[in-house]
A and B are shown apart, each in its own frame.
Chain A
Amino acid sequence: MAHRLRAVWPPLLFAAVFLGLWQLLVVSRDIKPYLLPAPSLIWQNFSGELGLMSSTALYTATTALLGLVLGTLVGLVLALLAQRFIVVNHLMTPLAAGLAAVPIVALTPILNNMFDITSRTPRVLVTMIIVFFPVYVNVMRGLVQVQPVQLELMRSMNAAPGTVVRLLRIPNAIPFFFTAMKVAAPLSVIAALVSEYFGGPQLGLGSRIASAAANTAYGRAWAYVVAAIITGLVFYLAVLAAERLAAPWTGRSRST
């Protein structure tokens, strides 16, 4: 417990000093809120509208979660297929790389036209595509990067190819999967939020940050930003907790 406290207080102290200096700067220099609102003003807006903050965050979080789950599933299935069938691998590698180079969020207006603009669908699709890439690349690597000696061992024990995948390749890929999820989970919140800037229902964080800023309610705009940060952190911490539960051996030194 003591060492856990030691790990926690430096960032807390840093945050307190940072916010204190920020507040001091804004008050002493009389900086206008449209340039930089004081932390106290942001906090007023945040705590005064807790209900609205959480329902708005929940809307965006739902979009992000749908995109995260679906994008992860697609990434996992395609990685398994690419590992199994070399044809899929040859097909997927350039496609995945190409996809990574597309400014996907900027496709939202097009997707808004293709699908029902009043639904979540275009945003979920954008999030899915963004999540897919790190999941596919990392899991694929985890499936392939098995110690050669472990493969020989499985062959010496007369394991069928499917058994090798089930008992060796998939468990081997689990730490890689969680590495991907630590990137993909916060990314899904950002993707869901940014895609709201391009029209559609005005119920999420992205829409409301934009409209608050347009209405010169800078304190509120920043309060929504705080809500977005909290949402992203919650996603990240959920992944950490899942990793502890599902793969307690990760992060340990590998046995040889």
Chain B
Amino acid sequence: MTATAPATARSAVHAEGVWKIFNEGQPGEVTALQDVTLDVAEGEFVSLIGPSGCGKSTLLRVIADLTHATRGDMQVAGLSAAQARQEQKYGMAFQQAALFDWRTVRRNVELPLELQGWDKARRSARAMELLEMVQLADFADHRPWELSGGMQQRVAIARSLAVDPPLLLMDEPFGALDEMTRERMQNELLRIRRETGKSIIFVTHSIPEAVYLSDRVVVMSPRPGRITEIVPISLGERTEDTREAEEFYAGVTAVREALRGHPHDGSSVRARVGEV
């Protein structure tokens, strides 16, 4: 898919010429996003990576309609970002699990369904289904604080899937986890993706994480926040050996070089990844 393809029914997210400027026209003006154009296909896994201040989280927030674009067109599931949020076309997970301490694990997963007005029996059944998917059914009646960080994050992912949205937006969801848990969670996420066929946009600042999970890695750079390169990754089905595979390291290298910035031959990296 080309970057400027028009929004179609097959496009999960379509951003065209999106700008986000904080304090426009005032002394503290900051261009958080400059002319961002990006298409995410249905079922695609796209990571946003870049140093702090590159606007990756801002871009995710514009997609989620948590903040508005200053200029440009943002479509989510063929709707405006605001409509998509109102019609719950996406589920969102944050770096903090943001679970409510006063609710049990199951009732936390039920929260979005409650907001949609589902009746008690239906939402309870749906929550149990999701907890089984993230392998936490045994903890349904526990309180969030009784769970480890990784388990809390799995509850948050279950919650983001509750209304069965076609798109998942994830803002460094594994950023606070230790390395071992993190790799397990990555495999979990890929399994969930296989089972559900969701499109996923995933913000991270871990290069291996972005390469391991994604179909494409969107590399961004700060001041002003913009997309500098999009690195396609073709690792095929991820297995236990993937993290040791040469293609994986090639992908890591390609993303790292793109992050460093190499104005002379950005295209050669793409070609190299394509070869392997």
Contact = CB atoms under 8 A, between A and B. Distances in A.
A247 B100 CA distance: 13
A155 B152 CA distance: 20
Contacts of B145: 249, 252-255
A256 B152 contact: yes
A25 interface: no
B66 A171 contact: no
Interface stretch (A30-38, A144-152, A191-199, A208-216): A144-152
B43 to A, nearest CB: 21
B94 interface: yes
Nearest to B162: A157
Interface stretch (B15-23, B84-92, B210-218): B84-92
Interface of B: 64, 66, 85-86, 88, 90-92, 94-102, 111-112, 114-115, 143-145, 147, 149, 152, 169, 176
B94 A152 contact: yes
A168 interface: yes
Contacts of B144: 255
Contacts of B152: 255-256
A152 B100 CA distance: 13
A255 B105 CA distance: 12
B97 A157 contact: no
Contacts of A252: 101, 143, 145
B231 to A, nearest CB: 28
Interface in A163-195: 163, 167-168, 171, 174
A253 B112 CA distance: 24
11 contacts: A149-B94, A150-B100, A153-B92, A155-B66, A157-B111, A163-B115, A167-B115, A174-B102, A247-B102, A249-B143, A255-B144
Nearest to B87: A158
Interface of A: 147, 149-150, 152-153, 155-159, 163, 167-168, 171, 174, 247, 249, 252-256
A160 to B, nearest CB: 9
Nearest to A252: B145
B154 to A, nearest CB: 13
Q: Which of B100, B114, B147 has the most CB of A within 10 A?
A: B100
A168 B100 contact: yes
A149 B92 CA distance: 11
Given A158-B85, A252-B143, A256-B152, A147 B102 contact: no
A-B CB proximity, top 10 nearest: A255-B144, A156-B92, A171-B102, A149-B98, A249-B101, A252-B145, A256-B96, A157-B112, A149-B96, A255-B99
Contacts of B115: 157-159, 163, 167
Given A156-B64, A249-B101, A252-B101, A147 B96 contact: yes
Q: Which of B92, B95, B169 has the most CB of A within 10 A?
A: B92
Nearest to A248: B143
A231 B145 CA distance: 35
Given A153-B94, A249-B145, 15 more contacts: A147-B98, A149-B94, A150-B98, A152-B94, A156-B91, A156-B92, A156-B169, A158-B86, A158-B115, A167-B111, A171-B100, A252-B101, A252-B145, A255-B97, A256-B176
A150 B99 CA distance: 8
Nearest to B113: A157
Contacts of A149: 94-96, 98
B98 A153 contact: yes
Nearest to B99: A255
Contacts of A255: 97, 99, 101, 144-145, 147, 152
